[in-house]
Amino acid sequence: MHPRLSFAWAFLSSFSILLAGCGRTGGDEHRRDSWPAYGGSSANIHYSALTQIDTGNAGKLQKAWEYHTGDGDSMSQIQVNALETGGVLYGVSPHLKLFALEAATGKPQWVFDPARSVNGDTVKLAINACRGVAYYHGADDSDQRLFYSAGPWLYCIDAQTGKPVASWGDSGRIDLHHDLGRDVHNLYVAGTTPGMIYKDLIIIGDRVDEGAAAAPGHIRAYDVHTGKLRWIFHTIPYPGEEGYTSWDDTAAYQHLGGANSWAGFSLDEEKGILFAPVGSASYDFYGGRRLGDDLFANCVLALDAATGKRLWHFQTVHHDLWDRDPPTAPIPVNIHKDGKTIPAVVQTTKTGFIFLLDRATGKPIYPVEERPVPQDSALPGEKLSPTQPFPTGMPVYARQSLTEKDLDTLVPDSSYRDIRRRLAGYHTGRLFIPPTRAGTVIFPGFDGGGEWGGPAYDPETGLLYVNANEMPWVLTMIDAKTNEAAIAEAGQAPKTEGRRRSGGMANAAKVTDVGTAGEALYEVNCVVCHGKDHKGGGNFPSLVGIGKKYNEAQFLTLINSGRRMMPAFKQLSEAEKGALAAYLLDEKRKRSALFLDSGKTADDPYFHLPYDATGYNKFLTKEGYPAVAPPWGTLTAIDLDKGTIVWKDTLGDYPEFKARGIHTGTENYGGPVVTAGGVLFIAATSDAKIRAYNKRTGQLLWEGDLPVAGFATPSVYAVAGKQYVVIACGGGKLHKKSGDSYVAFTLP
């Protein structure tokens, strides 16, 4: 047994309350019975000091209330970790409406609709993923503000009335395209994970496109009272700044994008240190235009929260070609090593690695070895990093290699032979194999290992809880000239090699068949996500039959505004958009027309990439199961002091295998929450369950049925002495049914 587990329960409960405010987890000035920030506190450790629900009574949990937002649709999702403070719960609907409920009953208080926020007029709004809101509380109750993003806008909303704060920014909002150092108004910028409140600042990161024509992901801080920019940190450094020389091309900062903190932040509030996970530089899978280590992409970054000054950084992947950006915020923890207590931060990763870094200096607590990685089969023009960092001292929580012996044997023999044959044609067997034309197995896949739900940390026991995916994906590269040939066949004369993930295509010359031109445009802009057969894959929806769902006007609105993971296609001319609509909607009439030179597209030579990916393709059996043998989803408890796994189990079930006594786990999105009552709560799975585990042993204490899958992180709070667990149930991912509700559970 862990030595700290021998303390008396009463002492542990009271001690945990002290820890929440003394800096062990970074500090939190809020009451122990609330959930006032994304992840539960500014430290973002997914921990609640409440004890009413415990290992003895968790099996008695029942539904307390359910709130329907009323605006879900067949493709909608909710990924929100709801916020609760002062007896009020704040959440966001599938169509990005912000709402307030009575936290004990689910009774609505107010709803703010960003689509009607400007002078009461309806506005076109990109439906991006939203994972929560940030709450600011002034010196008294008269100033309570909520900050959240909808489309390219960051809103400031009065928490008591649900009205925009007119004195903030531009009538209560600011355009996230601004203040980035160059004109990016035609590029995709949106907020997903909420920003961090520090004193009188709201600090934000963004989601940007992952193609070559991407906005830079600089981290910005705005005044909570005025909306004025207070500081900016350049994640792609400017001349004279630290990291500038890590880019071989010294003009990179003027053209390239990405390196964005899309996964949110954590904060050591006592010391005023902001911790940021910085994503990959764009384009994700070919780095010939961004040679070098590419700082501060793929970094754990520590900033002075008041000024934005860099304190330290640690890069987890050099010159990333595998979309291996840190998927969640590094969180502050305390490590007991060699008789000393060391304040640290822990970064979980998509690969299953754990990086444990000194909180003050960024130096690894245990050695990180720079090991040689494969250099053969790299695409011409690419220059790989000769080594990659491999952390030691911490266990790996997901498998990292796929070979024939690892293939799925639960399927019929004919299906097994098929995946064995396909695997033989791929490059596989270890991490960091370069992207190839033949196909490279990415395992764990693009969605982890660890993902955006993030881990939970228990300050009582020093245990870290990580849920992980073990799904193989296949990355296949093609020559861009393949797409250029298709365009030429459609009668066009492209001026650039850009693609959907790489900045759109050029102005076009005369064509006679708009549908044929639309097919070429699809190859250029859409195939990477939706596939050559239009059926999608992974978390990208099928476009088969889209003409039954959208008319031309609705389709054009969609591609002009974007939706969730799909950016807006502002780089295309109106004629190009019309041709794409003609092709995808399968219009009966063929329109002869001139492509007018009506819209200038991204013709920057930095966007002219010679290679493109064929799509985000999972490696699946004919039956649709992962090609790797189970487990496909796991939940792991790790002792950070000892560097050992305390317990590990599958997470989620496929009903057809469960009936045979086989627990496979499922892909999972959303994180766990751990409590002082000894319970760990998690939904996240595709089987539409929420579960409670004994945090010490991993024993399953309770399963609750949800209306649809809860791809989100639970919130835990108490009102009038009664403890609640709330989960957003939006479904929509993994081709699961969509929903529109938030469900609360409590004891009878």
| Position 546 confidence tier, pLDDT thresholds 50, 70, 90 | confident
Please provide residue 448's backbone torsions phi and psi, each rounded to the nearest 5 degrees: 85, 175
Report the pLDDT value the prediction gives residue 545, as an integer from 0 to 100.
73
Q: For residue 654, how many other CB atoms are within 10 A of its CB?
A: 19
- What's the number of CA atoms in the CB half-sphere (13 Å) around residue 297? 32
Residue of 199, 162, 331, 318 lying closest to 263 (CA atoms): 331
Segment 444-455, tens digit of pLDDT:
999 999 999 999
Instruction: Decide: residue 517, CB within 10 A, 0-12 exposed, 13-18 middle, 19+ buried.
Output: buried
At 227 the three-state DSSP class reads coil
Segment 154-211, tens digit of pLDDT:
999 999 999 999 999 999 999 999 999 999 998 999 999 999 999 999 999 999 999 8
Q: Which amino acid is at 308?
A: G
Q: Is the peptide bond before 296 cis (omega within 30 degrees of 0)?
A: yes
On whether the CB atoms of residues 635 and 467 are closer than 8 A, the answer is yes
Taking the C-alpha atoms of residue 619 and residue 631, their distance in angstroms, rounded to an integer, is: 15
Among 119-128, 191-200, 726-735, 739-748, which is the least confidently predicted range? 119-128
Among 257-261, 370-374, 375-379, 516-520, which is the least confidently predicted range? 516-520
Taking the C-alpha atoms of residue 311 and residue 325, their distance in angstroms, rounded to an integer, is: 20
The average pLDDT across 547-559 equals 66
Unique residue bearing structure tokens 């080594």 = 387
Taking the C-alpha atoms of residue 14 and residue 11, their distance in angstroms, rounded to an integer, is: 5
Task: Name the region of 678 (left: φ>0; alpha: ψ -120 to 50; beta: rest).
Answer: left
On whether the CB atoms of residues 472 and 668 are closer than 8 A, the answer is no
The average pLDDT across 630-653 equals 98
| Position 126 confidence tier, pLDDT thresholds 50, 70, 90 | confident
Segment 691-716, tens digit of pLDDT:
999 999 999 999 999 999 999 999 99
Q: For residue 162, how many other CB atoms are within 10 A of its CB?
A: 18
Q: For residue 96, how many other CB atoms are within 10 A of its CB?
A: 23
- What's the number of CA atoms in the CB half-sphere (13 Å) around residue 392? 6
The average pLDDT across 105-122 equals 86
The structure's pTM equals: 0.85
Helix (H) or strand (E) segment spanning residue 415: helix 413-424
The average pLDDT across 331-360 equals 97
The average pLDDT across 276-296 equals 97
DSSP, res 433:
P
Segment 238-263, tens digit of pLDDT:
999 999 999 999 899 999 999 999 99
Report the pLDDT value the prediction gives residue 38, as an integer from 0 to 100.
98
Provide the strand spans (E) within 235-309. 266-268, 273-278, 299-304
Q: Could you give the percent of the chain with pLDDT greater than 70?
A: 81
Angle between the N-to-C axes of helices 574-584 and 514-525, in degrees from 0 to 180, rounded to the nearest 10: 100
Higher pLDDT, 140 or 412: 412
| Position 720 confidence tier, pLDDT thresholds 50, 70, 90 | very high
| Position 580 confidence tier, pLDDT thresholds 50, 70, 90 | confident
Segment 25-53, tens digit of pLDDT:
333 434 689 999 999 999 999 999 999 99
Instruction: Decide: residue 205, CB within 10 A, 0-12 exposed, 13-18 middle, 19+ buried.
Output: buried
Taking the C-alpha atoms of residue 115 and residue 97, their distance in angstroms, rounded to an integer, is: 8
Class of domain 477-614: mainly alpha
Unique residue bearing structure tokens 């009272």 = 225
Taking the C-alpha atoms of residue 402 and residue 411, their distance in angstroms, rounded to an integer, is: 17
